[in-house]
Amino acid sequence: MSVDSILESRLGPESLRKLLALDNDPLNAVIADAILQFQPSSVFVSSGSPEDLHRVRVQAMRLGEEKPLIFRGHTVHYDGYEDQGRDPENTKFLVTGEDSLGPALNWVNREEGIAEIDQVMNGIMRGKQMVVSFYSLGPLGTEFAIPCVQITDSYYVAHSEDILYRQGGELFKTEASKEQFFAFLHSAGALKNGVSRDIDLRRMFVDLNKNAVYSANTQYAGNTVAAKKLAHRLAIKKASQEDWLAEHFLITGSPSYEGNKTTYIAGAFPSWCGKTSTSMLFDVVGDDLAHVRKKAGRAYAANVEKGMFGVIKDVNTEDDPYINEILVNPGEIIFSNVLDVDGRPFWEGMGEVDIPLRGVNHSGVWWKGKKDSKKKLIPISHDNARFCVSLEGLKNYDAKQVVDLDGIIYGGRNSKRPVPVSQLYGWVHGVFSGATIESEPTAATVGAANAEVIMNPMANKEFVSIPIGTYLQNHINFGRDLKEPPKIFYVNYFLRDDSGKFMNTKMDKKVWVRWMERRICDKVGAYATPTGFIPKYEDLVELFKKELTATYSKEDYEVQFMTHVPQLLEKLNIAERFFKKETSVVPKEISGMIEIQRGLILEAKKMFGENHISPFKFENYQVPESLTKPF
């Protein structure tokens, strides 16, 4: 059958008209192939018009994928009990011939992978309607825009992407789109009680040759809303070929006290390490994914998305006031895997709220004390329960499409090291610190509960689609042409004392980010240490007073900014083992920095005669001038 006859056999006149208006033969071929393989009973094409967006929302509720809640625009969606997070084991890259992504990445020979996904997905949409939608990764009308087509049998997935991404139908009319666009092909598969039945056949395969993603037998948005982390994998490879960066970055803007400048800072954090809350501290541009390009010696960045798919646990009036406000007022929001009691959503850590003793959640009918088949107590909401909402509704939303990038934050989760905030000594030192992010496992990944602390370069390890050594070399190379590289910082919000108590409050991060803005604008000094510049005590006293109306004691400063020699050396040893195991080619700048850092730490231990060195002792300490240069 010809492409035209295949399309005419499944598309009604209106959907066919909308598709043919794009005049894109490669796009038509992808959709026709999907029809032949998946065998849907019919196809609906969304043009992104208000009428089509409304239809998608209504169908999601009509088919039971979402249920309306009491506030106008609020709905709730439930994933299967065993389908609540990203699935790294069954997320694989398809690689051609002799190519290899190295031992760090989960990949399979392309021919073998295609055969497997064909077996899983052939005829998977029988009896269902296929939905076709068009999106842009990045702002329209800029060099950041990448055209994407989503093909799915889930109106929930289409609705989620309508909230999260810019409509991109117009991009498919361009000649450039006929050469390259991203294609996402998803089916929830057979359903039982409204959720994917065949979880053992859950597959997420990323075809790097065809810029396509296949996703089957899953509903969790991290596995199905392909324009998010699945597309991110495609974008990383594209960026490496075109000399830009596709990153797991928030973007936040910090207006100066003087009122004459907003400093824009990007930040990479593994899930559950404070990323979304950091993005919301001042003016939020984006909370999850960003692309970074360079022009005239400066780096500039754009948010890939226009919405946020955030973890809802512990969102409350005190810790996340901007997010909490949008969640408790009318507006278009999809809640997932929370407790529903008479149309009102409840979640873990929502603050001073009386939690009902009974309702409906991700486990079905729920009651206080309910346990699952493994005798595990079921909380009111899943630890990875989410909300999906447009950023435009936030009071602190910064609508600037593209921003000059003044700073970059890398942050992880470790109870022993390093200090709460430090500034790295230059671009290469910053890339090294990003490459050695370490973090305890979180509920965002299936099967992570008992895993050890992992090293997660740029918080991107799960998504990198090129050898990690190549990925890190691209970072180093990106900075070479920059006359003014962004200043790079490292944060750790999760230090604990010997009793296991956190040393900082959740809002202390506002001081750390404000200190970064002050450093970027040359408004405060710092002490040099073996691992980076740290704040001076007197500057933090002033910032705690201004930002949090709080006092900050010398005792707290000293214990939080202590240089712990054994713990820092341990991290370097872990990094060394990680790079030897995970990649055959480590950039010489990275391996060299391990030795430089080890030497400086041991030298400081000898200089001060201590394993645990007070920050006050570094008042006159200096590091080699060569380390403070970008290269």
Summarised one tens digit per residue, pLDDT across range 498-518 is: 899 999 998 999 999 999 999
CA torsion 415→419→425→429, rounded to 10°?
0
* CATH label of the domain that carries residue 95: 3.40.449.10
In a domain, 330, yes or no: no
Q: For residue 584, what pLDDT band results from cuts at 50, 70 and 90? A: low
Instruction: Give the side-chain half-sphere CA count within 13 A for 610.
Output: 10
Say if residue 259 is in the same domain as residue 234: no
Q: Which of 461, 453, 445 is nearest to 104 (CA)?
A: 461
Q: For position 446, what pLDDT does the model report? A: 45
Are 107 and 209 in contact by the 8 Å Cβ rule? The answer is no
Say if residue 274 is in the same domain as residue 141: no
Are 411 and 489 in contact by the 8 Å Cβ rule? The answer is no
Distance of CA 281 to the CA centre of its chain: 17
| Angle ∠(594,428,103) on CA atoms, nearest 5 | 60
Q: For position 444, what pLDDT does the model report? A: 46
Q: For position 450, what pLDDT does the model report? A: 44
Pairwise CA distance, residues 314 & 320, whole Å: 8
577: buried, middle or exposed (CB in 10 Å: 19+, 13-18, 0-12)? exposed
Q: For position 443, what pLDDT does the model report? A: 47
Measured CA to CA in angstroms, residue 182 lies from 4, 391, 614 at distances of: 22, 24, 52
In a domain, 379, yes or no: no
Say if residue 272 is in the same domain as residue 229: no
Q: For residue 445, what pLDDT band results from cuts at 50, 70 and 90? A: very low
Say if residue 255 is in the same domain as residue 149: no
In a domain, 474, yes or no: yes
Write out the H or E segment, with its range, that includes residue 45: strand 42-45
In a domain, 121, yes or no: yes
Residue 133 has pLDDT above 70, yes or no: yes
Domain count, the chain: 2
Q: pLDDT digits over 23-80, tens only?
A: 999 999 999 999 999 999 999 999 999 999 999 999 999 999 999 999 999 999 999 9
In a domain, 349, yes or no: no
In a domain, 610, yes or no: yes
Pairwise CA distance, residues 83 & 222, whole Å: 10
Q: What is the mean pLDDT of residues 455-475?
A: 93
Computed over every residue of the chain, the mean pLDDT equals 93
Say if residue 518 is in the same domain as residue 471: yes
Are 361 and 381 in contact by the 8 Å Cβ rule? The answer is yes
Any idea which residue has 């480590």 for tokens? Answer: 586
Distance of CA 531 to the CA centre of its chain: 26
Pairwise CA distance, residues 64 & 62, whole Å: 5
Residue 454 has pLDDT above 90, yes or no: no
Pairwise CA distance, residues 365 & 383, whole Å: 17
Residue that finishes a domain, picked among 226, 242, 258 = 242
* CATH label of the domain that carries residue 556: 3.90.228.20
Say if residue 263 is in the same domain as residue 207: no
Please state, for a pLDDT cut of 90, what percent of the chain lies above it: 86
In a domain, 337, yes or no: no
Residue 475 has pLDDT above 90, yes or no: yes
Say if residue 113 is in the same domain as residue 131: yes
Q: For position 626, what pLDDT does the model report? A: 81
Q: For residue 629, what pLDDT band results from cuts at 50, 70 and 90? A: confident
Say if residue 154 is in the same domain as residue 182: yes
Say if residue 277 is in the same domain as residue 229: no
DSSP 114-149: HHHHHHHHTTTTTTSEEEEEEEEES-TTSTT-EEEE
pTM, 2 dp:
0.94
Residue 370 has pLDDT above 60, yes or no: yes
Say if residue 108 is in the same domain as residue 190: yes
Q: For residue 447, what pLDDT band results from cuts at 50, 70 and 90? A: very low
Pairwise CA distance, residues 250 & 403, whole Å: 12
In a domain, 287, yes or no: no
Q: For position 96, what pLDDT does the model report? A: 86
Say if residue 123 is in the same domain as residue 202: yes
Q: Which residues are catalytic?
A: 273
Pairwise CA distance, residues 22 & 91, whole Å: 32
CA torsion 310→316→322→326, rounded to 10°?
70
Q: pLDDT digits over 310-319, tens only?
A: 999 999 998 8
Please give the residue range of the domain that contains residue 417.
Answer: 250-282+293-300+405-628
Q: What is the mean pLDDT of residues 442-460?
A: 65
Strands (E), 421-559: 421-423, 438-439, 454-455, 487-492, 527-529, 532-534
Q: For position 515, what pLDDT does the model report? A: 98
Pairwise CA distance, residues 587 & 474, whole Å: 10
> What is the per-residue burial (b if ≥16 Cβ within 10 Å, else e) of 333-344?
bbbbbbbbbeeb
Q: For residue 441, what pLDDT band results from cuts at 50, 70 and 90? A: low
Residue 338 has pLDDT above 90, yes or no: yes
Pairwise CA distance, residues 305 & 406, whole Å: 20
Are 151 and 185 in contact by the 8 Å Cβ rule? The answer is yes
Say if residue 273 is in the same domain as residue 219: no
